[in-house]
Amino acid sequence: MDELERLRALEDPVEQFIYAGDVLNALDAAITEVGDVRRAALDKMRQDGMTLAQIADRVGLSVARLSQLGAPRRRPERVVLSTGDTVHVVLPVEQAPYPEGPQRPVVHESDIAFRDDIQRLALEFGLETKTEHLPAGEYVDLNRDGLVVTCGPRQSPWLTQILASDSAYGFERDDESWYLLDKATGEKLRSPRHRDEGGDLAYLGTLPRPDGKGTWLYCAGIHAPGSRGGALYLAENIAKLYRETRNHLWSCLVQCDYDPKTQEISNARLVAPVRRRERLRQR
């Protein structure tokens, strides 16, 4: 095994310790994938009509062990959403004009749809979802587990300061429009929507809690469809994101396509790669 040989060859104990952790994470991920394949094979044999006793005789395991293998388990990538049992989704509240009086607070349909997207994903991992509303300019308690925020810096300017801690990507604004900045290359990525195209961009990643005890997930588009595109990319790639970024802060930029009439998202893909940042302190 090349990794083991490299690990033994390292002379610096600090490097050896850190690399050993990376190797263990990779092994854990591989074991998880192999276990999933094994469990799927068991499910297929059951669907084909074989009893546990018949399967046990064919594969050389006890019925009790097969029952254990077939039992539901908590998939490790669930921690991308929450290490507990609940996901708290924070939605922006804006003031909108009202024909019969002064402005009233509203939550846009697209943000509610984003919450529903995250809720469906959370349900796959047996997680409960709670919704919170954040009026423009107000703050949210970031020192909690399972926090998913979709407010943009336009609604919540304090986010600009927090996003500054991300050395890879961030939101910026000039005279033309809001855009996403690739800090490594200096590239400014503007929403296809500005060109009257059915597309948008989103920031997706983790940011550090102020108390230093973990992270929270931030997913926000330049416009509302972008947030849902980020949620779609997360849902389709959560296991891969977990494997590639485990125990690190990370972020990426996502582009999505959507139907301008229905606002439904048709696909989501990376427009700038997933970049790992600082390693998280182990608690």
Give residue-wise pLDDT tens across range 89-112.
Answer: 999 888 777 676 677 777 888 899
Q: Are residues 136 and 41 part of one domain?
A: no
15 and 36 share one domain: yes
**CA pair distance 221, 271, nearest whole angstrom:** 13
Among 34, 52, 73, identify where a domain stops.
73
Rounded CA separation 77/75 (Å) = 6
For 113, phi and psi rounded to 5 degrees? -65, -35
Band of the pLDDT at 283, cuts 50, 70, 90?
Answer: low
56 shares a domain with 165: no
Q: Same structural domain for residues 15 and 128? A: no
pLDDT digit string (tens) for 203-250?
A: 999 999 999 999 999 999 999 899 999 999 999 999 999 999 998 999
How many CB atoms sit inside 10 A of residue 255's CB? 23
The tokens for 30 are: 């591989």
Residue 249 and residue 119 share a domain: yes
The domain boundary residue, chosen from 12, 41, 73: 73
Q: Do the beta carbons of residue 164 and residue 147 sit within 8 Å?
A: no
pLDDT over threshold 80, residue 131: yes
| Per-residue pLDDT, 128 | 93
For the chain, the distance separating the N- and C-terminal CA atoms, rounded to the nearest angstrom, is: 30
User: What's the pLDDT score for residue 266?
Assistant: 93
Are 241 and 80 a contacting pair, CB within 8 Å?
yes
Residues 116 and 208 in one domain: yes
Q: Say how far residue 283 (Cα) sits from the centre of its chain.
A: 21
Same domain, yes or no: 47 and 161: no
The range of the structural domain enclosing residue 61 comes to 2-73
Supply the pTM of this predicted model: 0.75
Q: What does the DSSP 8-state code read for residue 39?
A: H
Which helix or strand (DSSP H or E) is residue 132 part of? strand 128-135
> Do 122 and 57 share a domain, yes or no?
no
Q: Which of 73, 96, 128 is the last residue of a domain?
A: 73
Identify the band that residue 72 occupies on the pLDDT scale cut at 50, 70 and 90.
Answer: low
Does residue 92 share a domain with residue 35?
no
Looking at the structure of the chain, the number of domains it has is 2
Residues 66, 88 within the same domain? no
How far apart (Å, rounded) are the C-alpha atoms in residues 115 and 91? 8
- As a whole number of angstroms, the distance between CA 122 and CA 127 comes to 5
Q: Are 93 and 132 contained in the same domain?
A: yes
Q: What is the pLDDT of residue 281?
A: 73
Q: What is the largest CA-CA distance in the chain?
A: 75
Same domain, 136 and 264: yes
Q: Which residue has the tokens 């074989």?
A: 50
